[in-house]
């Protein structure tokens, strides 16, 4: 039996593995949700494969995506990260990750978890299933991504506009945007 994938992952083995094992799978744990917040924010203005290829270096540089540790990063730690060629050396994005971690923690305290916060924006607090037959059926933003990014911006989160938010929602399975023909549609 042949395997059919969504068109966007092409033939890159790393992209295919990410598509097959992670993309669109519902994530409920806050550690992974924080990881993708860091990675998607770093991706702003770049391709996802650029970040995906650096994921392990991000994991190392950002304390295994421990939100408490990242929230306490010092200016010295920022300088250390800026010398790491394995991450995108963009000072504002790195500094913003610290502020974003602090806001993430405040949201956890307010809602019980970041997951509960995110799903408070979802219809019936459930993931959205899209009917994607051709590439023209795919979208890059939604009412939900608009609302989440707007609320996060109001709270002080940076590098997380509606398009980045929607990509985040796809990555963590808040929306199922696998093509109907995809063998990995779950």
40 is catalytic: yes
Is 135 within 8 Å of 7 (Cβ atoms)?
yes
Q: From the candidates 15, 23, 48, 115, which is the catalytic residue?
A: 48
79 is catalytic: no
Q: From the candidates 40, 115, 117, 168, which is the catalytic residue?
A: 40
168 is catalytic: no
Which residues are known to be catalytic?
A: 18, 40, 48
């Amino acid at each position: 039996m042949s395997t059919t994938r969504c068109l966007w992952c092409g033939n890159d083995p790393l992209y295919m593995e990410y598509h097959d094992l992670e993309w669109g799978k519902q994530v409920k744990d806050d550690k992974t949700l924080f990881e993708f917040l860091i990675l998607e924010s770093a991706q702003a203005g770049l391709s996802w494969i650029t970040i995906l290829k650096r994921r392990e270096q991000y994991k190392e540089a950002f304390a295994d995506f421990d939100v408490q540790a990242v929230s306490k990063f010092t200016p010295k730690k920022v300088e250390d990260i800026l010398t790491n060629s394995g991450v995108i050396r963009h000072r504002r994005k790195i500094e913003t990750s610290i502020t974003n971690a602090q806001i993430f923690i405040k949201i956890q305290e307010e809602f019980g978890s970041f997951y509960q916060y995110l799903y408070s924006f979802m219809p019936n607090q459930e993931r959205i299933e899209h009917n994607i037959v051709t590439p023209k059926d795919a979208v890059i933003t939604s009412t939900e991504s608009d609302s989440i990014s707007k609320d996060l911006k109001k709270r002080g989160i940076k590098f997380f506009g509606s398009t980045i938010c929607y990509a985040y929602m796809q990555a963590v399975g808040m929306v199922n945007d696998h093509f109907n023909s995809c063998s990995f549609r779950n």
